[in-house]
Amino acid sequence: MIISPSVQIVRMVTYCYRNLCEGLDPIAQQRNTVTAPMQDIEHLSTNRLSVVVPVFNEENAVSGCIERLLTQSEIDEILIVDNNSTDGTASIIQEFAEKYDKVRYVFEARQGVVHARNAGFDASTGNIIGRIDADTRVQPGWADAVKSFFQRSTAHSAVAGLTYLFESPFARIHRYALDRQVKQGKFDCERQVLAVAGANMAIRKSAWLSVREQVSDRPDIHEDIDLSLCLREEGMTIGQIADMRAETSGRRGETPPLEYLKYNQASESVLHLHNIMNWRLKLTIWGDSMLHALVWPVYRLYNFEQERLEFRRLFGMSKGRIMPVHQ
């Protein structure tokens, strides 16, 4: 089935269900605030990879995220951007920063993942910027794949990786679907996609600087889709490679359906912002919300620690993950 470019953009927005359907993934005390002006690209180090991780109250996930990044020698700099965390996130980051020179603690006071992302991107010193979420686990070879891609490909300004799920009752099915596509040769060469997902992406610093004034800082839209559309409007393209592998948590599936509707409202908002909303896109977004409602009971039953279904969980409280967008 041929999927239109606009539909592909919307289908990059969510992390669990569209991945399942599409088979690919195409964000105060003793705090050292880092405020870095945008840098002239000529002064940036050649082939230097900075990885930016925006975080808010991620004390349960941030350690694992940083530890995975530290195993990859090709990463030159790790910027963890604390966006006003009220739990133990800040102290965890600072402990890593004191122990490892390549880890930098960045504080962003303006609330919202877009502000945290921008602060990290602006403060980065590499000519390549990787971007993942706190609940992303990069796989072996991730950084090497990013650097190799930008070395050999001069056509693309950004790249999306291949993203698997963990902490999900559908993780095995999703992995099987992705691996099958890889075996079928669908990822044997670089292919062009229309959007990146903040959980697993990289961008040239020069491309970021070229759209820095165009990207929106609205907190009610998906900032990764907005960035992708800004790149597209400037005539830049995005590639996708299979070797840039990562896992991302499926805990978004715990989000109650009514709350998830608000999450998907950010999809409509960003498409309206770029004047590309139409009835087909609206149906796609509604379809995603309905699919979420159908599989949500399975997530309610799922014990993420034991990785099994438990019917007693159906009657417990359900919170879901903190939304990366807000009205």
Percent of the chain with pLDDT strictly greater than 90:
70
Rounded to whole angstroms, the Cα distance separating 186 from 191 reads 9
Q: Give the residue, 238 or 27, on which the prediction is more confident.
A: 238
Residue 322 lies in a domain: no
Q: In this predicted structure, what is the pLDDT of residue 113? A: 97
**Domain extent at residue 310:** 254-315
| Model pTM score | 0.84
DSSP secondary structure of 146-177? HHHHHHH-SS-SEEEEEEEEESSTTHHHHHHH
Domain with residue 215: its CATH number is 3.90.550.10
Q: In this predicted structure, what is the pLDDT of residue 311? A: 77
In this prediction, residues 148-162 reach a mean pLDDT of 94
Q: Indicate if 68 and 141 belong to the same structural domain.
A: yes
Q: In this predicted structure, what is the pLDDT of residue 15? A: 37
- Rounded to whole angstroms, the maximal C-alpha distance in the chain is 59
Q: Give the residue, 259 or 322, on which the prediction is more confident.
A: 259
Q: In this predicted structure, what is the pLDDT of residue 69? A: 99
Q: Indicate if 111 and 27 belong to the same structural domain.
A: yes
CB 8: neighbour CB atoms within 10 A?
A: 16
Torsion of CA 27, 32, 33, 35, to 10 degrees: -100
- Domain final residue, candidates 252, 267, 292: 252
Q: Which of 108, 150, 155, 154 is nearest to 129 (CA)?
A: 150
Torsion of CA 285, 264, 214, 144, to 10 degrees: -90
CB 241: neighbour CB atoms within 10 A?
A: 21
What band does 124 get if pLDDT is binned at 50, 70 and 90?
Answer: very high
Q: Indicate if 246 and 263 belong to the same structural domain.
A: no
pLDDT exceeds 60 at position 326: no
pLDDT tens digits, 301-315: 988 877 788 877 666
pLDDT tens digits, 34-70: 434 344 444 455 589 999 999 999 999 999 999 999 9
Rounded to whole angstroms, the Cα distance separating 172 from 302 reads 14
Q: In this predicted structure, what is the pLDDT of residue 46? A: 58
Q: How many domains does the chain have?
A: 2
pLDDT exceeds 90 at position 27: no
In this prediction, residues 247-265 reach a mean pLDDT of 92
Q: Indicate if 248 and 261 belong to the same structural domain.
A: no
Rounded to whole angstroms, the Cα distance separating 96 from 62 reads 10
CB 164 within 8 A of CB 245: yes
Residue 54 lies in a domain: yes
Q: Indicate if 244 and 276 belong to the same structural domain.
A: no
pLDDT tens digits, 198-249: 999 999 999 999 999 999 999 999 999 999 999 999 999 999 999 999 999 9
Distance from the first to the final alpha carbon of the chain:
35
DSSP secondary structure of 218-273? -TTS-HHHHHHHHHHHTT--EEEEEEEEEEEE-GGGGS-HHHHHHHHHHHHHHHHH
Q: In this predicted structure, what is the pLDDT of residue 325? A: 63
Q: Indicate if 259 and 248 belong to the same structural domain.
A: no
What band does 172 get if pLDDT is binned at 50, 70 and 90?
Answer: very high
